[in-house]
Structure 1
Amino acid sequence: MSAISPKIQNQIAMLQQVQQQMQTIMSQKTQYEMEIRENRRAEEELNDVPQESAVFMNVGTVMMQKPKEKVIASLQEKAESLELRVKSLEKQEKMMQAKFEQLQAQVKEALEGGNRPPNAA
């Protein structure tokens, strides 16, 4: 059985690194999507609250009373920002997926090529 060449070992290491990066991106994307849902839910709840009701918002480590409109605007702004981040992560995810598939094909080809018997020409 022949040893794996350093080139193939390097490609395998790169493949693993790309896979880890993809997992990180997917994890961040999931986290942002969850935050977007939470913001939208809070916004929906605030829309059901009477205008004159007291509305509180976390500002750093302090909870402060704020006008309902400002809290809703803040939630919308944060959700929009998170949506942009998700779109950016989706682009990164697609690029990483393409890179992963390319590296995977190269490694597979190199490994299969190494197992072929030499031509008897």
Structure 2
Amino acid sequence: MATLILSRVWINRLDTGEAVNAQSWDRTQDYDMDGDVGTYAGGRQRSISVEGERGSFGCTLRRVSLATILTLREWKGLPVQVRDHRGQLWVGVYLRVVPIEQSDPAWYDAALTVRTVDAPEGV
């Protein structure tokens, strides 16, 4: 029996399937929704919220080449699928890539945050 071990973050373009992958650290998830608490008669507090959730997944890709940085820059604003080392899946877009120089001039780290979007799954 084969075992799949996910030790990297994978980023795939949805339209072409092209992929970038790298070790990662500093992975964060954030989920929120629009809403507030309103005060009504007698001082009662009630939740006022809008249906729907916003999510984001941030990570720093470790030791990637300049070519990978350029690829990530080309993909800004395009729908991508991101899978982390746990197999979790996010579909979204990122609008910013932050290259971080390393002591070895051949390598960079790349920080990005994917903002989730609704995407159909299946056929």
Rg bigger for which structure? 1
Q: TM-score, normalised to structure 2's length?
A: 0.24
Higher strand share: 2
> Higher RCO, 1 or 2 (CA under 8 Å, sep at least 6)?
1
